[in-house]
Structure 1
Amino acid sequence: MKIGIVAESTQLPIRSALEAAARMGAKGVQVDAVDALAPDALGGTGRREFRTLLRSFDLELSALNVPVRRGLDVAEDLQPRLERVRKSMQLAFDLGCRRVVLPCPKLPEDAAAPRAQLMRESLLALAGFGDRIGCLVALEIGFDPAQKMKEYLAGFNVGTLKVTFDPANFVLHGHDPLANLMPLEGLVEHVHARDARSVGVSRGMQEVPLGAGDIDWMALTATLQVLEFDGLLAVEREQGDTKFADVANGVKFLRRFALPG
């Protein structure tokens, strides 16, 4: 396993974020496909230059994240949203990571409901495109138990739909992250290293710096090794006033558990 960071968690411009990642000793990064790195903003020359920039810092691009305001199960502006994801998949292929991270909404209870049909059609469209160009969709999960997600994805019979495992997502939605990792054998394509803990009955659960939460990282990384996960653990911090320091400390923290990569 290799340790990396989510570039946006540093709150720095992309070049400075890559430089910071290299100084932290990270092996790779996840970046958002927005602004200067949006598919429509980055032409052929820009894509070559970004790959060169990554090499200059000895970093790999582990995944391209595609932020979306609405899920794949929402009809409003769905086709433009799918087209944006497809363009991001092509960008991911051109940049060499061949992997996009896409948020997965809560799975529908009724497979015949309109929302369920929209989601299925959307995922089939993206999976088909991924098959053609050679790019995976790594759905960021956590709303539903892993076994339910595994059974849902098995119904597609495709190899381009995988998952991004974020243990904090499972904690925040009331699931045991460790118990929900083994059922995802063969599906975990990318990992967000985020932590969370209970902060009392009234306040529920909240994200905290890596190592300060309820997640057993020794057991989690050991399980990832059992699953033969050889991807990147991307340290991420979404909340708090000291995100940069939390990410840097998170990289140091994970070095205790991850095998050299």
Structure 2
Amino acid sequence: MSTLTLKDREVGIFFWAEPDALATLRTVKSCGVVSGQLAIDGTVQLTPETTAAWKAAIAAEDFHVFTVFAAYEGESYADIPTVVRTVGFMPADTRAARELRTREVIDFAAALGVKSFGCHVGFIPHDPTHPEYIAVRDLVRRIADYAATFGMTYCLETGQEPADQLLAFFGDVDRSNVKINFDPANMILYGSGEPVAAFELLASQVISVHGKDGDWPDPAQPGSLGTERILGEGSVNIPKFMAALREKGYNGPVCVESGVHGEEQRWQTLSNAVKLLNSLR
């Protein structure tokens, strides 16, 4: 495990960049946190003005950003075939543009003083000799090397591969700054493995965790994704999962992702989830 500061041991929130940086952070803090992970969707223009606004807001609110995540234009999580076709670095026709965008997001994170970048890579072929596997592996190496110039880790999000396959990919990438942001619900939503067992296998590489819950895909609907749930109401078994973190000596951040969408419910749901995780930590 990485050596972490006391501030890294907090419960935080995963949240999306909105146009008003200061207002966004104040809303996030209203849920009872002073830290989190900042997500940048593909439409956000990362101008010098954007960077300056976020840097000033973070300083003004004394807020700690653990990780900056990138999402990309054209991605869709409608179902597994759509994820395969659109998400991360697997679509060959957007790969070059997304590599450039990734570097922009890393530059943005570095300007904010954030030491971790993350994203979904997409469904990597199981065959390490497959041309698409090789192309994505080499791209991940390039991104890791670029992040390393800023002293930054590159976190891969879990869920789209079983834990043993992700671990094998790690070995093949062979970059010491490539780590894992472990999302227990994603393991369930994609039907890729029981989350506690997956965490135990990957624990040595995990530097951040999502607090998220969900139920398994419907076996009567092949290709479907599972359903996100309010934290504590899905199939992850959050108390068991949090106990597994303690047993493995994990002291890093746990950042809530809401399983409820819609502005009216979202922030109350996040606030309740923060209270639940604090009670379990």
TM-score by structure 2 length? 0.81
Cα distance in 2 for residues equivalent to 1:111 and 1:156: 11
Deviation per CA, 1:164-209: give whole Å up to 9, x if none: 1111100112221011001112211221211012587657731111
Asked whether the 8 Å contact 2:31–2:267 carries over to 1, the reply is: no
Pairwise CA distance, 1:7: 2.0
SS in 2 for 1:255: helix
Give the superposition deviation at 1:219.
2.3
* 1:250 and 2:263 aligned: no
Is 1:4 the equivalent of 2:12? yes
Q: Which structure exhibits the higher relative contact order, with contacts defined as CA atoms closer than 8 Å and separated by 6 or more residues?
A: 1
Cα gap change, 1:187/1:141 in structure 2, threshold over 3 Å: closer, same or farther? same
What RMSD in Å do the two structures reach over aligned CA positions?
A: 2.5
Distance in 1 separating the partners of 2:100 and 2:164 = 30
1:89, 1:98 within 8 Å by CA — same for their partners in 2?
no
| Structure 1: 5+ residue stretches without partners | none
Q: Which residue of 2 aligns with 1:209?
A: 230
Q: Deviations over 1:7-38 (max 9, x none)?
A: 239x8954333112222221312222348964
| Alignment CA distance shift 1:126-1:257 (3 Å) | same
Superposed, 1:216-231 pairs within 5 Å as 216-231=237-252
The CA distance in 2 between the partners of 1:7 and 1:151, in whole Å, is 30
Aligned counterpart, 1:100: 117
Cα distance in structure 2, aligned partners of 1:251 and 1:91: 27
Aligned to 2:161: 144
SS at match of 1:179: helix
Structure 1 residues 54 and 5: CA distance shift in structure 2, 3 A:
same
Q: Assess, with a 3 A threshold, how the Cα gap between structure 1 residues 8 and 22 changes in structure 2: closer, same or farther.
A: same
C-alpha distance in 2 between matches for 1:239 and 1:22:
18
Aligned to 2:28: 21
2:255 maps to 1:234: yes
Distance 2:218 2:178 in 1: 37
- CA separation in 2, counterparts of 1:62 and 1:189? 10
Moved more, 118-127 or 129-138: 129-138
SS of 2:197 mapped into structure 1: coil
1:190 matched to which residue of 2? 208
Give the count of matched residue pairs.
254
Equivalent in the alignment of 2:183:
166
Q: What is the rounded CA distance, in whole Å, between the counterparts of 1:199 and 1:210 in structure 2?
A: 17
Given the alignment, which residue of 94, 101, 126 partners 1:84? 101
C-alpha deviations, 1:28-80, integer Å up to 9, x for none? 122223489643x135xx54552332233232011111002342232213222
The letter for the 2-side match of 1:143 is Q
Structure 1 residue matching 2:239: 3-state secondary structure: helix
Give me the whole-angstrom Cα distance separating, in 2, the residues matched to 1:154 and 1:200. Answer: 33
SS in 1 for 2:214: strand
State the TM-score, normalizing by the size of structure 1. Answer: 0.86
